[in-house]
Amino acid sequence: MTHPAHRIVELAPDDDLFPSWCQVWAAAGRDARPDDPPRPAQEHLALGRELLAPGGSRDGTHRAVLVDGAVAGALRLVLPLKDNPSLAVVDLAVHPAARRRGLGSALLAEARALAAALGRTLLVGEVDEPGPGAPGRAFAERHGWSCDLVETRRELALPVDEDRLAALEDAAAAAGAGYELVTWRDRTPEPLLSDRALLERRMTTDAPHGDLPVGEEEWDGDRIREHEGTHLARGRTVLSAGAVAGGRLVGFTDLQIPLAQPVLAHQGGTLVLREHRGHRLGARMKAAVLRELAAGFPEVRRVSTYNAEDNTPMVAVNEQLGFRPAGVLSSWSARL
């Protein structure tokens, strides 16, 4: 079967073709999870501008594959600058109507060439798998990538059952009686900033990462502020809760809400420092942000989260809250 000729072009966020590049991601998202609102173009635009701005923690570039002048596939390559100097993160999507024409393979070859030219020797990427037979898994396997981590996606239907939530809050408060609970929105309080940076660093070493060949990340207060600013630029608000002992932040959780379509929220990172575990702080913090969500954003109908199955304490907390499995997210790697 003969397919139309294609060509690959570089794109910047403010180029005329970039909205069509974003539409490829939206179409791929709708195909995989038709009940989820697609990621808004604003998110891609803000991230693209961040990657091009000087002085940040990461760099990046974008490519589009064109068929008859129309964008049929999208590639974003993200390059850490403060750590993991051999790593390149590959984000790749092909419009569902243009699959099985070799366009994804052409973009992947482009990603490999770009990474190699930039001195990167390790590629990593993620595949959303709502159910068996996800096209991204077959694509990764066909190209010889290694599946290094599988996380279960779980979803919580809102509103949370009040009796269930109250019982969990009472038990968690009793177990963590010596800890103060604090909440904030979008911007970590200045006195807690350095502690939050330590928690983000520890997230890259203490949370389960399977066999992913990535190293510890470098975090400081400036990188936290950059991270927070990116969420705002992407049109998200973030509700956070923390556990404090002796004036130090020893645990945190984030809940991200897309303001353009506040239907599905995402539970982001949750971590308690190893030396403060065993006091049900994770459950207490998650319950707190769910209370904040219900009060400020009652229109949100679902919350999603991802956990490795060997992260048994966090899986147990989520199941106690009422989260239920809804597919998996797999992480893959390839060496150049």
Summarize pLDDT for 310-331 with one digit per residue, the tens: 889 899 999 999 999 999 999 9
The closest of 101, 81, 74, 80 to 10, measured between CA atoms, is 74
At the top level of CATH, which class does the domain 6-120 belong to? alpha beta
**DSSP secondary-structure letter at 97?**
G
| CA 287 distance to own-chain centroid | 21
By the 8 A CB rule, do 44 and 17 touch?
no
Asked whether the beta carbons of 278 and 60 are under 8 A apart, the reply is no
How would you write the pLDDT of the chain (336 residues) with one tens digit per residue?
456 689 999 999 999 999 999 999 999 999 999 999 999 999 999 999 999 999 999 999 999 999 999 999 999 999 999 999 999 999 999 999 999 999 999 999 999 999 999 999 999 999 999 999 899 999 999 999 999 999 999 999 999 999 999 999 999 999 999 999 999 999 999 999 999 999 999 999 988 888 999 999 999 999 999 999 999 999 999 999 999 999 999 999 999 999 999 999 999 999 999 999 999 999 999 999 999 999 999 999 999 999 998 889 899 999 999 999 999 999 999 999
The answer to whether the peptide bond before residue 54 is cis (omega within 30 degrees of 0) is no
Sign of CA dihedral 190, 192, 198, 199: negative
Q: Count Cβ atoms below 10 Å from residue 96 Cβ, excluding itself.
A: 13
Give domain limits for the chain. Answer: 6-120, 153-326
* Two domains, one topology: 6-120 and 153-326: yes
DSSP string, 174-221: HHTTTSEEEEEESS--GGGHHHHHHHHHHHHHHS--TT----PPP--H
Kindly give the pairing relationship between strand 302-308 and strand 264-272.
parallel
* The CATH number of domain 153-326 is 3.30.70.2700: no
- Crossing angle between the packed helical segments 18-32 and 41-52, to the nearest 10 degrees: 130
Distance CA 189, CA 183 (A): 9
